[in-house]
Amino acid sequence: MEVRKVIFILITILISAGCDSQESFHYVKKGEGKPTVIFESGLGDNSNTWSLIQEIVSKTTTTISYDRLGLGFSSSTKNPRTIENLVLELNQFLTTNNIEEPYILVGHSIGGLIIRKYQHDYPEKIAGLILVDPTDEYFHERSYAIIGKQASDSIKDMLNYHYSGAPPSVQSEYTEVDNTCKKMQEIAPPTTLPVTFLVSYQPSDFLNEVNLKIRKELVVEWSVKASQTKVISTIKSGHYIHQNEPFLVIDAITDMIDDLKNSSSK
């Protein structure tokens, strides 16, 4: 009897240890219905950044916000934070948790690149994209070319210093940004998918006259390549449009849901 008890305890310990070593995602699921809205956060941010928007959109349809591995309450990971791994992990999370398709993907900042890569790799799963002041893969390249090497090196040094005190997972995401942008230059914007592009033109220390001009040029170029894109610009918000003007994002999501439902009923 005692032997059986010891064996049972050992098995329990082994199972528990196996579970702890597995990568697990923290996520919040609210609402019902299709399409499912998936929120993808910016560099170093967790799912809390979407809490207000998710609460309201969930009254219309199913919503999912989650923490990428290494962020928030999700488990840590030793996998490099390459765009390929981020997309594979997102798909793993959605598949493992039986999150129903189709998806409207909502991505802020570098999250915009992640959802674009996901749409490129899994186009059959996607109903639409909402890009919230997304990172543009050509922005830094053009900006540095104009301001020159000395100024661009100073900016890079400042950013490196800023992220040097960040948690390892955030540093890992940051160090991959340049590689991510180079890889995304090989992926064209979607041409047959509804896309809403929310962009801030509010001047700031970073978005100075030169960078603001570049930003506007890149949005125009995107619109030419992806003519079905709806562009919504604002000067009332900075980079965090979804927090400064949440209803711009909420309306963009609900409008896309309505358009998709109307087109499917015809």
Instruction: Give pLDDT tens digits for 40-91.
Output: 999 999 999 999 999 999 999 999 999 999 999 999 999 999 999 999 999 9
The three-point CA angle 172-136-138 to 5° equals: 100
Average pLDDT on 182-186 reads 98
Measured distance CA(123)–CA(111) in Å, rounded = 17
Q: Domains, the chain, ranges and CATH?
A: 33-265 (3.40.50.1820)
pLDDT of residue 149: 82
Intra-chain end-to-end CA distance of the chain, in Å: 69
Q: According to the model, what pLDDT value does residue 159 have?
A: 86
This prediction has a pTM of 0.90
Residue 10 has pLDDT above 90, yes or no: no
Q: Where are the beta strands (DSSP E) in the chain?
A: 27-30, 36-40, 63-66, 103-108, 126-132, 195-200, 229-234
More confident residue, 206 or 240: 240
In this predicted structure, what is the pLDDT of residue 266? 63
Pick 152 or 4 by higher pLDDT. Answer: 152
Question: Of 182, 183, 166, which is closest to residue 174 (Cα–Cα)?
Answer: 166
Task: Indicate if the pLDDT at residue 13 is higher than 60.
Answer: no
Q: Taking 90 as the threshold, does the pLDDT of residue 235 lie above it?
A: yes
CB 249 within 8 A of CB 63: no
Q: What is the pLDDT of residue 263?
A: 84
Q: What is the mean pLDDT of residues 138-156?
A: 88
Contact 139, 71 (CB under 8 A): no
Are 62 and 34 contacting, i.e. CB atoms less than 8 angstroms apart?
yes
Residue 140 has pLDDT above 70, yes or no: yes
Percent of the chain residues past pLDDT 70, beyond the cut:
91
Is the Cα torsion angle 258, 260, 265, 266 positive or negative in sign? positive
